Amino acid sequence: MSGTPGSFARSVLADRHPALIRQVADAFPYPPEQRRALDALAEETAAPASADATSGPPIGPLSTHTGTHTGTDTRTGTDTRADGVRRWAEWGAEAYVGRASWYEVPFLWAESYFYRRLLDAVGYFGPGPWQGVDPFAPFKRAELTGPEVADELAALDALDDLAPDDRDRAVLHGALWGNRADLGFRISANGPTAHGSPANASSTKAPSAEAPTAEASSTNTSSAHASPTHAPTSTPSDDLLADDSAALWRHLAAAPPGTAAVTVIADNAGRELIPDLILIDHLLHTGRAATAVLHVKPYPYFVSDATTSDVVDCLRRIGQAPGRRARETGARLWSALGTGRLAVRAHPFACAPLPYADMPADLRAELGRATLTVLKGDLNYRRLVGDRLWSPTTAFSLPTGYFPSPLAALRTLKSDVIVGLDAGTVTALDANSAANGAAWRTSGTYAVVQVRTV
């Protein structure tokens, strides 16, 4: 639950969400109406005075004011407020809104509803002049134009020097470690700097088993991990806790030539989405996939989650990079979208506060047609296995058996949920955490590549 004393969930509501409201308020010259709504949301979601209390103001409703608009808004491509109210009623709002505080409801539901309420507060769903204005856009743009992205795109040319197997591994691990580039995860640490410039991605990196001192752990290693030409090894002492990469490549190779259809369910925009797109291009260009589908969010969500406009921004950024391979990659992806080899989807369930086990029939049918579905990031992982405190040694296949296609999870650990680890790894991680005070499940230091092909 969201309010469990000392939990990661409580820290998100008590620390990260208030910081985010301040960052959003500072990033735009919102008029008084929006500022009052943001202040009211901050007051409503504020942590109880006592660290073990869960009482507080009741969760408020979504706005139902829609003006003259009905149906789907043509400018934002998102549901109007009335449709949102209906959908959220189906997603559990009737059970919680006005009846419980933010600290008395399931964590996944509280997080998701918070972002929907934040969009409501800034007028994203309109009507009005702020309709469709992404409140997180300044953070995303600053990251996309930052030096780390330039360095990582420049490093693509070095892929030509690698053997094919090493190139596969580098591109896959680039997408994996790109998950560290999460603006929402950094908000509650140093956060974006003035006017939305993102803080250094390494600011939240906790010491690993290989970094015994605080000084050693403060070096910026996240750029190396995110670059597709710098992939960590998978020995037990490394930050990669589980690596089923070989099973992923075997599964794709087993598909009849020209038939493999890969679906990627994206997580973050910007610095993470770029290596996701590079991975998709690699699969298409090498023939591992005949077609690909990229699922993004239908509206801004969880600070940095990718939307269709973010995909276009990233494609332009790749195509404008000075390196030959980056330009070629950008051109191929642009062409693939135009020909239909690559498609972008934005299903409403992408923003649901529910696990994938509850996905609607149309989404289940679509994903069931995929040769492989790749789920990126921490939130998708929580929705995949169920947002609960599993024993970390639970087999990955157990909570994912319902999923309608073979799947791969590429995920950096930023929340308590984890399965599929061996007992020795868990014992070592627990001991290391006890010694240095770093919570291995939530630090963003560790990652997994977990695959289920049957």
Identity of the amino acid at 37: A
Identity of the amino acid at 343: A
Chain position carrying tokens 């309010």 = 3
Name, of 198-202, 221-225, 364-368, the range with top average pLDDT: 364-368
For the purposes of burial, counting CB atoms within 10 Å of the CB of 340, is it exposed (0-12), middle (13-18) or buried (19 or more)? exposed
- pTM metric for this prediction: 0.86
**pLDDT above 70: percentage of residues in the chain:** 83
Least reliable range by pLDDT among 1-15, 130-144, 203-217, 373-387: 203-217
Yes or no: say if 326 and 281 are a contact pair by the CB < 8 Å rule. Answer: no
Residue 331 has pLDDT above 80, yes or no: yes
The confidence band for 199, taking pLDDT boundaries of 50, 70 and 90, is very low
Least reliable range by pLDDT among 41-50, 82-91, 326-335, 418-427: 82-91
Yes or no: say if 443 and 205 are a contact pair by the CB < 8 Å rule. Answer: yes
Angle at 219 between CA 304 and CA 150, to 5 degrees: 50
**pLDDT above 90: percentage of residues in the chain:** 72
The DSSP call for residue 198 is P
Angle between helices 32-45 and 17-27 (to 10 degrees): 170
Q: Write down the pLDDT at residue 382.
A: 97
Mean pLDDT of 276-294: 98
**HSE (CB half, 13 Å, CA atoms) of 176?**
30
Q: Write down the pLDDT at residue 80.
A: 57
For the purposes of burial, counting CB atoms within 10 Å of the CB of 218, is it exposed (0-12), middle (13-18) or buried (19 or more)? middle
d(CA 328, CA 321): 10
d(CA 402, CA 388): 17
Q: Which of 375, 368, 363, 369 is nearest to 451 (CA)?
A: 375
The confidence band for 231, taking pLDDT boundaries of 50, 70 and 90, is very low
Angle between helices 17-27 and 137-144 (to 10 degrees): 80
d(CA 279, CA 169): 10
Residue 309 has pLDDT above 50, yes or no: yes
- Per-residue CA distances from 241 to 74, 170, 233, 411, 419 (Å): 44, 17, 10, 11, 11
How do 407-412 and 447-452 pair as beta strands? antiparallel
The residue among 41 and 83 whose pLDDT is bigger is 41
Specify the 3-state DSSP secondary structure of 345: strand
- Per-residue CA distances from 285 to 168, 258, 264, 288, 399 (Å): 12, 12, 16, 8, 33
Cβ count near 246 (within 10 Å): 13
Cβ count near 148 (within 10 Å): 20
Cβ count near 210 (within 10 Å): 14
Q: Which of 265, 454, 242 is nearest to 373 (CA)?
A: 265
d(CA 373, CA 388): 22
d(CA 252, CA 379): 25
Residue 410 β-bridge partners: 376, 449
As a residue count, the chain comes to 454
The confidence band for 368, taking pLDDT boundaries of 50, 70 and 90, is very high
Least reliable range by pLDDT among 153-167, 252-266, 276-290, 364-378: 153-167
Chain position carrying tokens 């010694």 = 435
Residue 399 has pLDDT above 90, yes or no: yes
Q: Give me the helices (H) in 48-159, please.
A: 81-88, 94-96, 107-121, 137-144, 147-154
Residue 392 has pLDDT above 90, yes or no: yes
Identity of the amino acid at 149: V
Q: Write down the pLDDT at residue 178.
A: 87
Q: Give me the helices (H) in 133-244, please.
A: 137-144, 147-154, 164-177, 183-187, 214-217, 222-226
State the average pLDDT for the chain.
85
Residue 182 has pLDDT above 60, yes or no: no
Q: Which of 362, 179, 193 is nearest to 271 (CA)?
A: 179
Mean pLDDT of 388-413: 97
DSSP string, 28-52: S---HHHHHHHHHHHHHHPPPSSTT
How do 372-376 and 407-412 pair as beta strands? parallel
Residue 422 has pLDDT above 60, yes or no: yes
Most distant CA pair in the chain, distance: 61
Mean pLDDT of 193-220: 30
